[in-house]
Structure 1
Amino acid sequence: MASVSSESLAKALESLEPKLALATVDLSKELFAVLEVLDANSGLRRALTDPAREAAEKEALLASLLRGKVSADAEQTLKQLASTRWSSERDISDALETLAVTSVAAVAEQQANKAGLDKLQKDLFDFIEVVSASHELQAALTDAQAPAEAKAALALKLVPGASAPAQLLLRQAAIAPRGLKPVRLVERFMDLVAKRQQRWIAHIISSRPLAESQVQRLETSLNKLYGRDLKINVSIDPALVGGLVVKVGDDIVDASVASRVAELRRSLAG
C-alpha cells in the first residue's frame, strides 16, 4: 500500500479505535457487508477514490447509499474512509477489510482480555493447519460451483468450538476470499489479529538479566500506565551497555546507554 493510502488507513484506524471498547460483531458484519458492495462495484470505488472529487462530495455519496442501512458507528467509520485520499481503488477496499478484522479482534479482546485474542488466533491457526494438510478440503473451499453457504458451513465445521469472532472471520474467508484462497486470507486475518495482540505485550530489552522483583515492578508500572494487564517478555542485549528499551505496540521507550551515546554522536556530527 502506497504512503498516501497508508496514511489514510492510519487515520481510519485512529477514528475507529474509540468505537471498539463496546463494539460487537455486528459492527464487523456491517463493515464486511459494505466491503462486498465495494468489491462488486468498480464505479463506486472509482468515485470514492477520485482525487478530483472533494471529500464532502464523497462523504455525501457514501452517506446516501448507507443511510438507515448501517449503524452510526459503521457510517462514521465509512465516511472517514471516503474523506481521505487513496492511491488506488483496491486500497480503499483493503483498508475496509483491515478495519473489519480489527473490529473483530477488538471484540475478542473484550473476552477475558488477552485470552480472547489468544483463542481467536488459535482458532484461525487450527483452520490453516487442517486445510493446508488436505488437498480435498482446499478443493472444496475453492470450488467455484459450490454454494457459498456450503463452503461457510464446511469452514466452521473444521474448527469445532471456534469463538464467535473466529467464526465470523472463517465464514468471511470461505464466502468472500477476495481473489485469494481462503487459507491465504485467513493467514492475512491472523497477521492483523497478531498486530492487535501486540498492544497487550510489553517487550523489555535489557543489557543484563533482571531480578524477579525488578520485572514485577516494571509490570506493575506498565499495567498502571496502559490501564491493562500486559504480558511481559524480557530479552537480553549486551549491546545496550546499560538501561532498558521497552516496546508496547507502536510505543517505544528507549532509556539505554547505547541510545544516549548514539544521540550524542548525532549532536556532535550536526
Structure 2
Amino acid sequence: MAGASSDSLAAARTELDPVLVSGGTSLAAELFTALEAVDSSAPLRRALTDPSWSVERRTGVVGSLFGSKASEGALSVLNTLAGHKWSQPRDFGDALEQLAITAVAASAERDGLDGLERLSGELLSFNRAVEQSHDLQRALTDPQAPAAARGNLAERLLGNGSAEARLLVRQAAQAPRGHKPVNLIRGFVETVARRQRLWIADVTVARPLAPAQQDRLAAGLKRLFGRDLKLDVAVDPELVGGIRVQVGDDVVDSTLQSRLHDLQRKMAG
C-alpha cells in the first residue's frame, strides 16, 4: 500500500484508535465480517472508493449495507475509511483488515506490553508448527475444504491460546485473501509489533546512565506518556550531551547535537 492509500490508513489509525481500543475482539470480528463482504464484491469496493463520488454518497453505501447489522464502532470504522482516498479499490479491504488486527492487538494490550508479547509469541509458535508439517500446510490451504473447517483446524492447532490469537489464526485460515495463512500471520505479527513499539522507549545517551538515573528517566517518561515503558538504552558518544528518546513515532530530543543543528539551521536560514 502506497501513496494516497498509505496516507489514508495512517490518518484512519490515528482517528480511530479510541474506537479500536474500546472495541477489542468483538469489533475486530465485525470488521472481519465486513471485510468478507467487501472482498466478495468488486462493485462494492468501487462504490466505497470511487473518487468521483462524494463522501456522503460513499458513506451512504456503508449505511445501506451495514447500518442495520453493524455496531456503532464498526460503522465508525467503515465510514471513516469510506471518507478517505484510496489508490485502488483493494486497498480499502487491506486497510479494513489492518484496523481489525489493530483492534485485536489493542485487546491484548489491556495486559500491557506482556499481553502484546504473549500474542506475538502465540502467533509465531503457530507458524512454526505449521511450517514444520507439510500435511498441515496442505490442510490449511486446501481450496476444496470448507472455510470453517480450515478455521477449526487452525484453532485446534493453536491449543489453549488467547481469544485474540484464536481469532487471528481462524481469520488467516478461513480468509487468507490470496496469501498463505503463515504469510498472512507474519503480517499480523508486524501489526502487533507496531503496538509493542508504543511501550518501548528507545533511549540514546552520550554516557551510560546510573541505575538511579534510569529510574528517574522511567518515572518521567511514565508521566509524559501515561504508561510504564520498557527502556532500551544505547550509548552514542557523538551526541556530546543530553538525551534522545523515541517512543513509536514520538521523539523527545534534548541532545547538545540536536541543539547545535537547530542553531545551524537558524543561522543558515
SS in 1 for 2:171: helix
Q: How does 1:63-142 map to 2 (within 5 A)?
A: 63-110=63-110, 112-142=111-141
The Cα shift of 1:266 comes to 2.5
Partner in structure 1 of residue 17 of structure 2: 17
User: Using the alignment, how far apart are the partners of 2:123 and 2:61 within structure 1?
Assistant: 36
Matches within 5 A, 1:1-270: 1-110=1-110, 112-270=111-269
- 1:30 and 1:138 map into 2 onto residues whose CA distance is 27
Q: Provide the rounded CA distance (Å) in 2 between the counterparts of 1:179 and 1:20.
A: 26
Report deviation, 1:130.
Answer: 1.2
**What is the CA distance between 1:228 and its match in structure 2?**
1.2
CA drift at 1:179: 0.4
TM-score scaled by structure 1?
0.96
Q: Distance between the aligned counterparts of 2:160 and 2:109, measured in 1?
A: 18
Q: Match of 1:88, SS? A: coil
CA deviation after TM superposition for structure 1 residue 157, in Å:
2.0
Q: Structure 1: which 4+ aligned runs deviate by more than 6 Å?
A: none
* C-alpha distance 174-205 of structure 1, shift in aligned 2 (>3 A): same
| Deviation sequence 1:89-119 (CA, Å, 0-9, x none) | 1111111011000000001111x22221111
**How many angstroms does 1:3 deviate by?**
2.4
Shift of 1:22: 2.8
2:66, 2:75 within 8 Å by CA — same for their partners in 1? yes
Question: With structure 2 as the length reference, what TM-score do the two structures score?
Answer: 0.96
Distance 1:195 1:21 in 2: 14
SS in 2 for 1:6: helix
Which sections of structure 2, spanning at least 5 residues, go unmatched? none
Is the contact between residue 21 and residue 103 of structure 2 (CA under 8 Å) also seen in structure 1?
A: no
**SS in structure 2 at match of 1:23:** helix
| Partners of 2:116 and 2:192 within 8 A in 1 | yes
Any idea what SS the aligned residue of 2:95 has? helix
Deviations 1:154-207 (A, max 9, x none): 212222221000100000000000100000000000000000111111111111
Preserved contact between residue 200 and residue 248 of structure 1 (Cα < 8 Å)? yes
3-state secondary structure, aligned to 1:205: strand
Q: Percent identity?
A: 49
CA–CA separation in structure 2 for the residues paired with 1:239 and 1:90: 46
Contact 1:15 1:77 in 2 (8 A): no
The 8 Å contact of residues 5 and 87 in structure 1, kept in 2 or not, is answered as: yes
